[in-house]
Amino acid sequence: MTEQETELIRDFLGREISPDLIMLFGSAAAGRERPDSDIDIAYLGDVVMSLYARFMLAQKLADLLKREVDLIDLFQASTVMQMQILSTGRVLHCGDESRKALFEMQVYKMYAKLNEERAPILQAIKERGTIYEP
């Protein structure tokens, strides 16, 4: 991902939804993107959008970048997705470090609780050797 693309993402999302946090994740963040790779972007902000509105916003950004864009609202993402983005993503913009830190703590707490709750289920699957019950 080029610096020009990064600036375009920051400027566009800043104008459209003023997010406190913008993160790049997926192959672009890991340095494994190919010319046909999409760009995975997550944001944290106060603007609540319908799935359709977010899809349309992603399409506008895709038109500017000349690449497909997946746009994720971190508040609406699953705990597992939030954790994956926070642990592997790259921050493109952070306007509020305190809010970012608070969000990270909440996600880590929810993820730890999720792992505790699903541990017996995963152990049973491991012992059976299959996800299906006999």
The answer on pLDDT for 132 being more than 80 is yes
Residue 35's pLDDT band, with cuts at 50, 70 and 90, is confident
Q: For the CA atoms of 100, 101, 103, 107, what is the dihedral angle to 10 degrees?
A: 130
- Domain limits of the chain? 3-95
**Global pTM value:** 0.87
Partners of 40 in the β-ladder = 25, 70
Task: Give the H or E element holding residue 3.
Answer: helix 3-17
The residue assigned the tokens 């997926």 is 26
User: Dihedrals φ, ψ of 71, to 5°?
Assistant: -115, 120
pLDDT tens track for 39-88: 999 999 999 999 999 999 999 999 999 999 999 999 999 999 999 999 99
pLDDT tens track for 101-129: 999 999 999 999 999 998 998 898 888 88
The domain made up of 3-95 is a member of CATH 3.40.50.620: no
Q: Which of 11-15, 30-34, 54-58, 109-113 has the lowest mean pLDDT?
A: 30-34
Task: Give the chain's largest Cα–Cα span.
Answer: 55
What SS3 state is found at 71?
Answer: strand
The gap between the terminal CA atoms of the chain, to the nearest Å, is: 48
